[in-house]
Structure 1
Amino acid sequence: MQFGVFTVGDVTPDPTTGRTPTEGERIAAMVAIAKAAEDAGLDVFATGEHHNPPFVPSSPTTLLGYIAAQTTRLQLSTATTLITTNDPVKIAEDYAMLQHLAGGRVDLMLGRGNTGPVYPWFGKDIRDGVALAVENYALLRRLWREDVVDWSGTHRTPLQSFTSTPRPLDGVPPFVWHGSIRTPQIAEQAAYYGDGFFHNNIFWPMEHTAAMVDLYRRRWEHHGHGPADTAIVGLGGQVFMRPRSQDAVAEFRPYFDVAPVYGHGPSLEEFMATTPLTVGSPQQVIDRYAAMRDDVGDYQRQLFLMDHAGLPLEVVLEQIAILGEEVVPVLRHELAVGRPAHVPDAPTHASLVAAAGGAHDGTVYAPADDVTGASPEPVR
């Protein structure tokens, strides 16, 4: 079971002081959060991808590459990579490059974004959202698995004898999670390919989450990847903790009440009752998240949103320390109890290489350079 944190990279005023961090401060904070997650013994750091204020992570591979150079163990992922508005050729190249730089500590979660206008910003039509997700991912898979690709489709220009470089590290592409909150077609896409399904259920009741995960599991089995309980599932979550629950609620309430993502709506108590948001003691968080598998079965990845709504960096770092010291060790133990032996762990680069029969160098040695016509040195 993997545990980690994800960021949406919002630049939000602290409602208790009125101060808004600069973009530079917020970017530096995300790096500090990733390093703190590794120090706390967590497994994963993931970043969103957004191209509109008040968010800053418009270039996930740049951020994750910088973090890769300052960490040694942390799995680096995305909370969204926009498969609809990014060119799949660029995704293939960028994440293969990141995979090499990070020594394989990379996977990614594909999604369609948090705002409709992102489609015309990148020359796309939101009415094609699902079709773009399906077609672009089919091309992305081929770019990572075939040395030379000839392709034509509906939503981009054709490719003729195209090789995406660099090739995936050790000949094995990064593992892909398909993220969706409410779209059955994306759960079906994940199941069809035997990929992971991540339900970022931070705004939804567990009944909805359970239904989406159940659909994915049933379709996973239908497509011949194994029993439904072997499907690869991830969940989102949100917590804020203090030793006494009353103190946690009192401290977090002003941030919740005006947060751009959920403020000015249901009360904190109503939101906690109907979504996974848990504000209270570490034991309350343990109890709430240990019970998640009652609804979705044994799953592989749990990510927590910690650094949102204007919370100061020092508070976020305190929260990550509590998560690593008091919560995750207990959850690891409790969620391991009774877990069937045939239920897999979350895929890693090492496990994917082993499943592929071992590593191989995927470098494509072209017969001649396009510009100079020079042939490469013979391979020794």
Structure 2
Amino acid sequence: MQFGIFSVGDVTADPTTGRTPDDTERVRSMLTIARHADEAGLDVFATGEHHNPPFVPSSPTTMLGYLAGVTKNIVLSTSTTLITTNDPVKIAEDYAMLQVIADGRTDLMMGRGNTGPVYPWFGKDIRDGIDLAIENYALLRRLWTEDVVDWAGKFRTPLQGFTSTPRPLDGVAPFVWHGSIRSPEIAEQAAYYGDGFFHNNIFWPMSHTRQMVAYYRRRFEHHGHGRADQAIVGLGGQVFMRRNSQDAVREFRPYFDEAPVYGHGPSLEDFAAQTPLTVGSPQQVIDRYGAMRESVGDYQRQLFLMDHAGLPLKTVLEQIDILAEEVVPVLRRDAEAARPAHVPSGPPSHADLVARARGDVPTAASPEPAVPDGVDAEALR
């Protein structure tokens, strides 16, 4: 199982000092955080994509391309690549280039974004969000898998005899996740293609996450990609830790109370009870996240949001160390001990995808229903 961190790249004032970093400082802090995560032994660093203040990561491939040259082991990914407002031709080119530069140490997550004004800035209509995601991704796959593409659709100029360059590394496209919080159409898209499904459930109760993941698993099996429990699932999370839980709550509370995304709303205690946000000791985080599989089954990637709400860089680096040294080893050990042998331990690596393309990997086991009991997946249709 993979463990890592994702960043939304917000520029937020530190409520305890009143100081706000400028954009340059924030971008450079994200680079420091990614390098530290690699050195600490985490598996994944993922950046969001935003084109509006107060967020800075408008060019994920620029950031990840740099990080490919200064990190050694960590998988470089996105916590959103905007499949709706980006041209799929440019996505094909940019992420194949990144894949080559990173020598396959990369994947990406498709998402629609959650900021309405961005759509018209790029000549799109938010009401077309689902249709854009479906059409653009269908074209993207063809651009990666076919050397010459003739194509016509609704949302962009037709292509005639077009070849996207560079070609994917070793002829194999990067692994793709589809990220969604509430849209079963996106879970269906992930299942249809046999891709990963990432439920970034940081604002939602576990009951909702359970339904969305169960629906994806059921449809993954329906489309013939394997058993439902073999589907590739990722979850989001948020934690803040100190050795003493009271210290963690006391230190994090002002950041929670003033954060743009959830400040001035539910109390810290209410929000933590209703969502995966866990503020406390490392053992409390282990207990909370170790229990996730009881709701969604064995899953392959867990990412945590840690560098947000104005938290100082020093504090974020401390949090990464606690996560890597005290939490992840226990979660990884327990997840591996509980995982059935036929269930993937993580998403496919580049080497796995190459082997699969060459026919060196056996076909999936015959499907057997494995949707968690008590879940009405059809209710999400």
| TM-score category (smaller protein) | over 0.9
Q: How many angstroms apart in 1 are the aligned matches of 2:214 and 2:291?
A: 16
Per-residue deviation, residues 190-236 of structure 1 (Å, max 9, x unmatched): 00000000000000000000000000000000000111000000000
Unaligned runs of 5+ in 1: 360-380
Is 1:227 matched up with 2:235?
no
* CA-CA distance at 1:356 after TM superposition: 1.1
Secondary structure at the residue paired with 1:337?
helix
Secondary structure at the residue paired with 2:321?
helix
Q: How many angstroms apart in 1 are the aligned matches of 2:67 and 2:157?
A: 34
Q: How many angstroms apart in 2 are the aligned matches of 1:310 and 1:303?
A: 19
Instruction: Report the equivalent of 2:241.
Output: 241
**Residue type at the aligned position of 1:94:** D
Instruction: Report the equivalent of 2:367.
Output: none
Instruction: Report the equivalent of 2:330.
Output: 330
Following superposition of structure 1 onto structure 2, how do residues 226-305 of structure 1 map, counting pairs within 5 Å? Answer: 226-305=226-305
Q: How many angstroms apart in 2 are the aligned matches of 1:216 and 1:169?
A: 28
User: Which one has the largest radius of gyration?
Assistant: 1
Q: How many angstroms apart in 2 are the aligned matches of 1:11 and 1:32?
A: 16
* CA-CA distance at 1:358 after TM superposition: 7.8
Instruction: Report the equivalent of 1:310.
Output: 310
Following superposition of structure 1 onto structure 2, how do residues 169-248 of structure 1 map, counting pairs within 5 Å? Answer: 169-248=169-248
Question: Equivalent pairs: percent with the same residue?
Answer: 79
Is 1:9 matched up with 2:9?
yes
Per-residue deviation, residues 105-127 of structure 1 (Å, max 9, x unmatched): 11000001120011000000111
Instruction: Report the equivalent of 1:42.
Output: 42
Instruction: Report the equivalent of 2:356.
Output: 355
**Residue type at the aligned position of 1:17:** T
Please tell me the root mean square deviation across aligned C-alpha atoms, in Å: 0.8
Following superposition of structure 1 onto structure 2, how do residues 140-179 of structure 1 map, counting pairs within 5 Å? Answer: 140-179=140-179
Instruction: Report the equivalent of 1:125.
Output: 125
Secondary structure at the residue paired with 2:64?
helix
Instruction: Report the equivalent of 1:368.
Output: none
Instruction: Report the equivalent of 1:346.
Output: 347
* CA-CA distance at 1:338 after TM superposition: 2.1
TM-score, normalised to structure 2, is 0.94
Q: How many angstroms apart in 2 are the aligned matches of 1:65 and 1:238?
A: 26
TM-score, normalised to structure 1, is 0.94
Is 1:110 matched up with 2:121?
no
Q: How many angstroms apart in 2 are the aligned matches of 1:114 and 1:184?
A: 16
Unaligned runs of 5+ in 2: 361-381
Q: How many angstroms apart in 1 are the aligned matches of 2:60 and 2:142?
A: 22
**Residue type at the aligned position of 1:353:** V
Per-residue deviation, residues 81-125 of structure 1 (Å, max 9, x unmatched): 000000000000000000010011110000011200110000001
Q: Which moved more, 1:339-348 or 1:82-91?
A: 339-348
Secondary structure at the residue paired with 2:322?
helix
Per-residue deviation, residues 249-277 of structure 1 (Å, max 9, x unmatched): 00000000010011110000000000000
Q: How many angstroms apart in 1 are the aligned matches of 2:259 and 2:50?
A: 17
Is 1:139 matched up with 2:139?
yes
**Residue type at the aligned position of 1:69:** G
**Residue type at the aligned position of 2:340:** P
Q: Which moved more, 1:31-40 or 1:87-96?
A: 31-40
Q: How many angstroms apart in 2 are the aligned matches of 1:348 and 1:88?
A: 23
Instruction: Report the equivalent of 1:31.
Output: 31
Q: How many angstroms apart in 2 are the aligned matches of 1:290 and 1:335?
A: 8
* CA-CA distance at 1:354 after TM superposition: 1.1
Secondary structure at the residue paired with 1:69?
helix
**Residue type at the aligned position of 2:162:** F
Q: How many angstroms apart in 1 are the aligned matches of 2:239 and 2:8?
A: 15
**Residue type at the aligned position of 2:313:** L
**Residue type at the aligned position of 2:178:** H
Per-residue deviation, residues 345-372 of structure 1 (Å, max 9, x unmatched): 211111111111189xxxxxxxxxxxxx
Q: How many angstroms apart in 2 are the aligned matches of 1:263 and 1:308?
A: 12
**Residue type at the aligned position of 1:68:** A
Q: How many angstroms apart in 2 are the aligned matches of 1:34 and 1:7?
A: 9
Instruction: Report the equivalent of 1:377.
Output: none
**Residue type at the aligned position of 2:78:** T
Instruction: Report the equivalent of 1:79.
Output: 79
Secondary structure at the residue paired with 2:70?
coil
**Residue type at the aligned position of 1:233:** V
Instruction: Report the equivalent of 2:378.
Output: none
* CA-CA distance at 1:39 after TM superposition: 1.0
Q: How many angstroms apart in 2 are the aligned matches of 1:40 and 1:358?
A: 35
Q: How many angstroms apart in 2 are the aligned matches of 1:358 and 1:26?
A: 44
Q: How many angstroms apart in 1 are the aligned matches of 2:172 and 2:148?
A: 16
Secondary structure at the residue paired with 2:15?
coil
